[in-house]
Amino acid sequence: MRVITEFPHKVSDHADWGVVLSDGTRLSARVWMPEGDGPFPAVLEFLPYRKRDGTVVRDALTHPYIAGHGYACFRIDMRGNGDSEGLMDDEYSAQELADACEVISWIAAQPWSNGRVGMMGISWGGFNSLQVAALQPEALKAIITLCSTVDRFADDIHYKGGCLLNENLGWGATMWAYSSRAPDPALRQGWHPMWKERLAAEPFLPAVWLRHQRRDEYWKHGSVCEDFSAIKAAVLSVGGWGDSYKNAVPQLVENIEAPVKGIVGPWVHKYPHFAVPHPRIGFLQEALRWWDRWLKDAATGVEKDPAYRVYLMDGVRPASWYENRPGRWIAEPSWPSPNVAVRTMALGEGVLGQGGAFSETLASPQDCGMDGGEFCAIWLGPEMPGDQRRDDALSACFDSAELEETDIVGAPVLTLRLSSDKPMAQVAVRLNHIHPDGAATRITWGVLNLTHRASHAAPEPLVPGQVYEVRIALDHIAYRLPAGHRLRIAVSSNYWPMLWPMPDQATLTLTGGQLDLPVRTKRADGDEVTFEPAEAAKPLGLREIRPEAHVRRTEVDQRTGIVSLIIEDDFGEYENQDHGGIAGSVARERWDIHPDAPLSARGSAHWTEVTQRGDVRLRTEAFCEMWSDSDAFHLKARIEAYEGEACVYSRDVVDQVPRDHH
């Protein structure tokens, strides 16, 4: 990544620019303001993740660069987070979106503004950029959304294919810790009462999300797929094949009526100018081309860019982490593309591509899925799916013959004929690349709660013994299978610890099916489109106090038979050399299950967050647990707050939520 220090505009950095909302709540913004003759357009990033000590490292690389090219860059802490007043009640709430719209209007009315605003963000900021765009604030002319979703129920961290994701607890634990931290004492004289008020009101969000186990109005709110035509701003959508949010980019390119372009690289959940795996791209240059066109009316040629630019990854050996993914950039003028055709491959007796009568009984152990990796690879540890051979041994597998070189571009779909001996069951499907020596790389995957087979809004129990035809959509991907290698469809009835298990172990009987594989017409090798090399502003100066370290290990208790996944992410502790503040955090997760007992499932998390300003050292300890019986999910959480070694606040949450077809 090339560091740029000279820009067309000098930039002034404002650490605590107040934006007072109509209800009197003061939001705190860090603003990078270009100097010189205006007026200037603005770019807004609106997050709960703390500009002072949360996103500060990536902000330093990104916002000064954009500001140096003539944009007022606003990085605002949402109400109830970081250095902003107020309280947060949920993610993407009506209050959050209304606040964003009010901020946009306020920015556009400032004397230095040209009246045009862009909104940008990754993950939470990518979600709310789309959602705010659908509300059509007058001044919002363009957005750049990264690693986001168009459907909050079907394609976020809560539910997938109607199945309950364990990330619902995992990310809920993260927010339990993130939003419980105090404002920076150097910025807020009243930081202590703000902190106490925040701690007392902080919602334990997993309990909120669990009360909506079907696709109801709660999830429709903020799901832009409900009405794609509501988005009038120009949309640049960016994603990564190593991320959990693989589907939004092609969905937006296909459905948005406003100007829209999509880019998907090999990356995990990071901005592409500093993401891994390599290759990185000049994302900030692409962002400037987008902003210059829609916020400055400059002729940058973005309208002529291919609609869909994606990185076609070469098939490689399975690994829990990649620094680099070999491959090439391909480009489609439209999506869906006429260059991609569906190849239908029937399931037979253990084979893929040669149909025939068969009957396969399937009752995967509860620990099937232990090599599935992290749902959302983000912390740069060993989070990618490893060799799939162990999970394949616990699944029903259908292997193809050796194939010619095959470029898979799009979302594979598996149709299955099956029956169940229980009224509730789930199924997980993996499309794997089988190497000549038998190693198995997961290409893409999908899951389905079989009670949701017809509707996520109105699930229905299965009739035991009745045969159903179900459709499982796998995530979008761009992957080249080498010549002479094989494909495998692996079907399992459990996928732990990605999915929470059903209350009873179901036995499925598979009797037929087919894979619809999107295959791209072969082209000459080499990149079909190129990007400039990655650039960024000067990195933030940090003094390391404790280095970061990431651990992911599996344990088997030989006495009890419990299988456990233990995750320890120590993010280290660092002093910010710009403002002298110290921050550090440690996250721990544990996922336990017995292979024969779905009701043995248990998840727990413990986060430690430290903030220090001079002699004032603040710490929060956030704990949570979840388990279930046949009728309900049980939740327990605790928050503790410390000044020095003195506990100044604690609160316990105990809750249970009835199971609803889960």
pLDDT of residue 496: 98
| pLDDT at residue number 332 | 97
290: exposed, middle or buried (C-beta count within 10 Å: 0-12, 13-18, 19+)? Answer: buried
Same domain for 33 and 67?
Answer: yes
Of 307, 332, 357, the one marking the end of a domain is 332
Residue 7 confidence (pLDDT): 97
The whole-number average pLDDT for the span 401-421 is: 98
Q: Which amino acid is at 466?
A: Q
Give yes or no: residues 372 and 282 share one domain: no
Residue 508 lies in a domain: yes
Parent domain of 97: 2-152+227-332
Q: What CATH number corresponds to the domain at position 278?
A: 3.40.50.1820
**pLDDT confidence of 110, banded at 50, 70, 90?**
very high
The verdict on residue 66 lying in a domain is: yes
Residue where a domain stops, chosen among 301, 332, 363: 332
This prediction's pTM: 0.97
Same domain, 105 and 183: no
In a domain, 529, yes or no: no
Alpha carbons 70 and 509: distance in angstroms, whole number: 62
Q: Are residues 551 and 616 in the same domain?
A: yes
State residue 378's pLDDT score.
87
Q: Looking at the structure, tell me whether residues 163 and 269 fall in a common domain.
A: no
pLDDT given at position 76: 98
Q: What is the C-alpha separation between 309 and 281, in angstroms, rounded?
A: 12
Whether residue 615 is predicted with pLDDT greater than 90 in this model: the reply is: yes
Same domain as 255, residue 118: yes
pLDDT at 379 over 90: no
For the chain, the domain total comes to 3
In a domain, residue 532? The reply is no
Phi/psi at 170 (nearest 5 deg)? -60, -50
Within-domain flag for 71: yes
612 and 658 share one domain: yes
- Please tell me the predicted confidence (pLDDT) of residue 636: 98
Is the pLDDT at 523 greater than 90, yes or no?
no
Find out whether 657 and 629 touch, Cβ atoms under 8 Å: no
> Do 378 and 483 belong together in one domain?
yes
Residue 244 lies in a domain: yes
Residue 143: predicted pLDDT: 98
Span 557-578, mean pLDDT? 97
Rounded distance between C-alpha atoms, residue 440 and residue 434, angstroms? 5
- For the segment 142-148, the average pLDDT, to the nearest whole number, is 98
Task: Name the average pLDDT for the chain.
Answer: 97
User: Domain check: are 95 and 216 in the same one?
Assistant: no
DSSP string, 518-538: EEEPP--SS-SS--PPPEE-P
460 occurs within a structural domain = yes
Question: Based on the domain organization, do 374 and 500 belong to the same domain?
Answer: yes
Burial zone of 76 (CB within 10 Å; 0-12 exposed, 13-18 middle, 19+ buried): buried
Residues constituting the chain: 662
pLDDT at 524 over 90: no
CATH number of residue 502's parent domain = 2.60.120.260
- Position 592 scores a pLDDT of 98
Q: Are residues 127 and 168 in the same domain?
A: no
Q: What percent of the chain has pLDDT over 90?
A: 98
Q: What is the pLDDT of residues 447-487, one digit of tens each?
A: 999 999 999 999 999 999 999 999 999 999 999 999 999 99
Write the pLDDT tens digit of every residue in 38-50: 999 999 999 999 9
Mean pLDDT, rounded, for 25-51: 97
For residue 227, how many other CB atoms are within 10 A of its CB?
Answer: 10
Mark whether 185 and 145 lie in a shared domain: no
**Residue 534: pLDDT above 90?**
yes
Give the residue from 297, 332, 367 where a domain finishes. 332
Closest CA relative to residue 171, chosen from 656, 622, 653:
622
Is 238 contained in some domain?
yes
CA dihedral 289, 291, 292, 295 (to 10 degrees): 160
User: What does DSSP say about strands 468-473 and 413-420: parallel, antiparallel, or unpaired?
Assistant: antiparallel
